Structure formats: C-alpha cells, structure tokens
Structure 1
C-alpha cells in the first residue's frame, strides 16, 4: 500500500515538474522522480521495457496528434516536447503500481482513460500553454475516446512486458 501511495505522489510531482517547467531545468526533477521510482519502488530490469515501449507509443500518438493539428505547442520542433515524452515515461511507472487497480475489468481502464486522459490533457494544456486549434470541447472529447481505447492497451502492455499473468 505504501509503495502505491509513494508511486502516486512521485507521479504527481513529476507531472507538475513537466507541465509547469516545460523544457527547462525542472525536467531534472521529473527525471529524478523516474530514477527514484526505478531505484526504490521497482527497477529498470522489471520496468525498463515497459517504460521505453510506452514512451515510443506515446510519442507516436502525440506526435501524430501534433502533426494533424490537434495540438499546437510554442516550440517548432518536429517531435513532441521533451517534457511530454517524459510524462509518458512517468505514466508507465504507474501501470503496475498505483493504477494497477484499473487494469481489470477492461471497461474500468477505458473509463479511467476517457476521464483521466481528457482531464490531464486539459490541465496540462492550461498550465503548459498547449493550444487546441480545433476547439477545446471537440479536442477533449476526441482525446477521451482515444484514451478509452489506449488505457486498456497500456495495461495489456504492462502485463505482457512484466512477464506475469496478472500484471
């Protein structure tokens, strides 16, 4: 129980460091959160493949959304910002820990993904200055649908990449 609370608190700290700090030295705090998780709560051997897989998938998804004009960031880099990639890594650390409860039944992950995904993108957009050119409500509804599909998939990845039957 304590491990899950620590994981949730670390994730929130990292989330705020990424969203409020952007591509600044605050990323070092978010990186420290990731290192603390992999040192004290889990390990690179246990979750390294999951973290890398989620970062790659998330970068592809958010990169596609950026390329299609759903998001507009202040920077003109071709990929999504580094702080957003780090957020995907931090999210991966929650799948086998504080958010493990949402893995089953699958519809619970879909519900959490739809609501939590939309709220996270909304809050992150407000705090990080991310613009939604297609309008806030249509964008957040689309993100909710996307995350209703994506979050159960992330749990499947966590289960398969952990090498255990129950994640």
Structure 2
C-alpha cells in the first residue's frame, strides 16, 4: 500500500514538474522521481524495458498527433518536447504499481484511459501552453477515444514485459 502511494506521489510530482517547467531545470525533478522509483520502489531491470517501450510508443503516438496538428507546441521540432517524453516514462512507472488495479478487466483500463487521458492532456495543455488548433472539445474527444485503446495496450505491454 505504501509503495503504491509513494508511486502515485512521485508520478504527480514528476507530472507537475514536466508540464509547469517544460524543457527547463524543472525536468531534474521529474528525473529524480524516475530515479527514486527505480531505486527504491522498483528495479532497473524490471522497469527499464517497460519504461523504454512506453516512451517509444508514446513518443510515436504524440509525434503523429503533433504532425496532424492535433496539438501544437511553441517549438518547431518534428518530435514532441523532452518534457512530454519524460511524462511517458513517468506513466510507465505507474502501470505495475499505483495503476495496476486498472489493468483488468480491459474495459476498466479503457474507461480510465478515455477519461484520464483526456483530462491529463487538458490539464497538461493548459499548464504547459499547448494549443489545440481543432478546438478543445473535439481534440479531447479524439484523445479520449485514442486513450480508450492505448491504455489497455500499455497494460498489456506491462504484463508481457514482466520479469
């Protein structure tokens, strides 16, 4: 129980550092959350593959959404910003810990992904100054549908990459 609470707190601290700080020294706080997770809550071997896999999938998904102009950042790079990649790594730390309860049944992960994903993009977008060129409501609806499929997939990755 304490491990899951600590995992949730570390995730939230890292999430805030990323969306408020952007690509600044605030990212050190997010990196610290990852290191603490790997050092005290989990292990490098058990979580490293999952974190890398989730970062690759998340970077691909969000970079495609960026390319399609679903959301727009201040920089003009082809990939998503580093702070958003770190958010994907932070999310990976929750899949076997504080959000493990949401893995099964699959529809629970799907429902949580739809609601939680859209709310996270909404809040993160507001705090980080991300623009939604197609409008907030249509964008969040698309993100909700996308995350309804993506979150169960991430949980499946967590199970398949388990030690």
Q: TM-score, normalised by structure 2?
A: 0.99
Q: Compute the displacement of 1:157 (Å).
A: 0.1
Q: How do residues 13-162 of structure 1 correspond to structure 2 at under 5 angstroms?
A: 13-162=13-162
Q: Compute the displacement of 1:77 (Å).
A: 1.4
Is there any run of 5+ residues in structure 2 with no aligned partner, and where? Answer: none
SS at match of 1:72: coil
Q: How many residues align?
A: 163
Q: Compute the displacement of 1:78 (Å).
A: 1.6
SS at match of 1:96: coil
**Residues of 1 paired with 2:31 and 2:77: CA distance?**
21
Is there any run of 5+ residues in structure 1 with no aligned partner, and where? Answer: none
Q: Compute the displacement of 1:44 (Å).
A: 1.0
Q: What is the alpha-carbon root mean square deviation over aligned residues? A: 0.4
Q: TM-score, normalised by structure 1?
A: 0.97
